[in-house]
Amino acid sequence: MLTLKPLSKDAIPSALAKAERYRLLNEPGEAESICLDVLQVDPENQEAQITLLLALTDQFPGQSTSRVVGRATELASRLKHDYDRAYYSGIVRERRAKTVLHHERYGAAAAALEWLHEAMAFYERAESMSPANNDDAVLRWNACARLMMTLPEAVPELPEPEPLQLE
């Protein structure tokens, strides 16, 4: 098995800039690899954790397995600041909702609504503790609300019909 080469600590800022560029170039797998290299050297690096989380959510449309969603959710829960934990937990759920809708399967709208409700709850939590002049959580909440307004109403679950009895 191959042994990965360690990144030097001095190279972390430029590596994170490259990771962001790869995300912008729609190459989240490359961004993920760079973030993993940074976290190998500096496990508590918040910028690397956030960029990795975003790179994972960028991959949801292609591979939104519960494992990838779980990794992103776990990364969000490990962030140091309460605001970041709430905000990025919302991001994970919002992007999961959009992926569910993109696949257009039966029940997608109902599933997406659940994910969007969860995202909005996290955004409200983030909004309550957001730094001054930071309305990112409000912007994301509004985006979720607008998306929800385009979705059909979720069909309520109907009770099981009683079996017919023949006379």
Structural domain containing residue 127 = 81-152
Question: Does 114 reside within a domain?
Answer: yes
Number of structural domains found in the chain: 1
CA distance 60 to 54: 10
Question: Does 65 reside within a domain?
Answer: no
CA distance 73 to 84: 12
Type of residue found at 26: N
pLDDT tens digit string along 107-156? 888 999 999 999 999 999 999 999 999 999 999 999 999 999 998 765 55
Residue carrying the six token digits 């409700």: 117
Question: Does 94 reside within a domain?
Answer: yes
Reported as half-sphere exposure (CB side, CA atoms, 13 A), residue 11 has a value of 13
Question: Does 48 reside within a domain?
Answer: no
Residues 6+ apart with CB under 8 A from 85: 76, 77, 79
Task: Name the least confident of 14-18, 62-66, 73-77.
Answer: 62-66
pLDDT tens digit string along 70-101? 999 999 999 999 999 999 999 999 999 999 98
- To the nearest whole number, what is the mean pLDDT of the chain? 91
CB 129 within 8 A of CB 82: yes
Question: Does 5 reside within a domain?
Answer: no
Structure tokens that stand for 72 in this block: 């992103």
Question: Does 128 reside within a domain?
Answer: yes
pTM: 0.86
CA distance 141 to 63: 25
Kind and range of the H or E run holding 55: helix 46-58
| 158, pLDDT greater than 90 | no
Q: Which of 54, 130, 63 is closest to 94 using CA atoms?
A: 54
Question: Does 147 reside within a domain?
Answer: yes
| 167, pLDDT greater than 90 | no
Reported as half-sphere exposure (CB side, CA atoms, 13 A), residue 17 has a value of 5
What's the pLDDT band for 39 if we cut at 50, 70, 90? very high
- In this prediction, residue 159 carries a pLDDT of 58
Question: Does 129 reside within a domain?
Answer: yes
